[in-house]
Structure 1
Amino acid sequence: MSERKAAIVTGSGTGVGAATALALARRGWNVLINYSKSEAQAREAEAACRAAGADTLLVQGDVASNDACQAMARAAQERWQRLDALVNNAGITTFAGGGGNWDALDAEAFQRIYAVNVIGAFQMVRACAPALKAGGNGAIVNVSSIAGSLGIGSSVPYVASKGAVNSTTLHLARALAPEVRVNAVCPGLITTRWFVDGVGAEGYEKLKANYEHMVPLARASSAEDVAEAVLWLIEGARSTTGEMIQLDGGMHLGAAPRIPQPPAAAGR
């Protein structure tokens, strides 16, 4: 059995997944890097993790396939004879907006998004649960979204899928305790290619500017910000399970009233 802890991070070829894999590698973990389509970027992520001292596995697979999920779990256990953490990061959407672009949405869109975002996450948990429980101190982090709690996002099926991820997180936290903790992170706008690819460069810049003007902390999160929270839930949150951590710059608080400041008191 490897002395280094081992983790699987789905969808870790780019963005939050790649940043999370690298954060784990830098903390002394071995990492299975999973990708569906972005092979070149996944190989770059793997190289960065290896440079940080990790032993890595690079596995192509769509989490919507149960066979792919089972294969990832087997590969990690055969390589390291242990599994200590699972990060369900793989996710997809259809950018249809919230303004009634109904023609972009149909049953197929719902089914595909649910297959990856919800069913895929469950299938990964089911495949990995025996090894995570065997270690007695396992951790699962689901990468959700503020879409699941605020009801806003790129499309109705995406919003619904993230709400399902959140409720599934609560169920699994009960079902896998006490050996495994299950939590979720719920980012708002993240400065990765996800939004650029979805709405275009110009649309992204407008979205980012509006977001940073609106939220109390006046900033969007980076992939590294989200990875840092995931790492804390894996390594540091020993008494935390069933939580959805909001990483939205305070967006869930609502717009803050702009209260005029009183004039400075005149000197005596």
Structure 2
Amino acid sequence: MSNIDRAPDFDFLHQLADLAGETVLPLFRQPIAIENKLATGFDPVTDADKQAELKMRAYIQEHFPSHGILGEEFEAKDLNADGLWVLDPIDGTRAFISGLPTWGTLIGYRHSGGQTLGMMSQPFTGERFFGDGKQCLYKGPDGEKAISSRACKAISDATLFTTAPDIFDAEELKCFRRVEKAVRLSRYGVDCYAYCMLAIGMVDLVIEAGLKPVDIAPLIPVIEGAGGVVTNWQGKSAFDGGQVVATGDPALHDAVLELLSGKA
């Protein structure tokens, strides 16, 4: 039965995450064929990515046939629809094929009327982080609870995450290094899990570049629902990806933007 007359909710995001998890988890830490999407460089994709996205797409089309879908692995559908789903079945495929549980399924929804929803599901750890821009919730082995980012007004007190320095070009790396030298601690290699650790109040700052919309759009309602801020490096919307900076404390955000721009 179509749900066209009702708005999507967290329950529907959980249903999509269940479908993806049932598809992906049996293939984690198992021998699996890896395809490189690039002629030069390495951008891996597996059958787990493709099958999980296909199942989520089919479920969305069954219940919300008028909605658009922007996915990582397949052609976009109706990007100008009032309701738009943004899907990344395995954000962090490099971690997935390396056996590290820092990957996750990203599911986002945005309506032209203003409603936003987002979720990161990590089926191996049994954790889900989900928000709507006003609240952020966690569900995992230690229960279900509301979560929020932590206060950190000074860059010198901040913990910084990024996926890896090689995601930046030469000029971006100079900008990133200015911030990295100013923080208390920096860590690499945690993919979408970094933004969830920011939402739950364990780290203060995430800086990345070269992101696609599917890498960040589903995480925006999570970060903002936890009380954080996420923009591009110019302080504008991060929905389209590219250069992204997220802070748990809004008071920290402007200072980080100034350092990235070289104005500080």
On whether the aligned pair clears a TM of 0.5, the verdict is no
Task: Give the number of the structure with larger relative contact order, counting CA–CA contacts within 8 Å between residues 6 or more apart.
Answer: 1
Structure with greater strand percent: 2
Question: Which structure dedicates a bigger proportion of its chain to helix?
Answer: 1
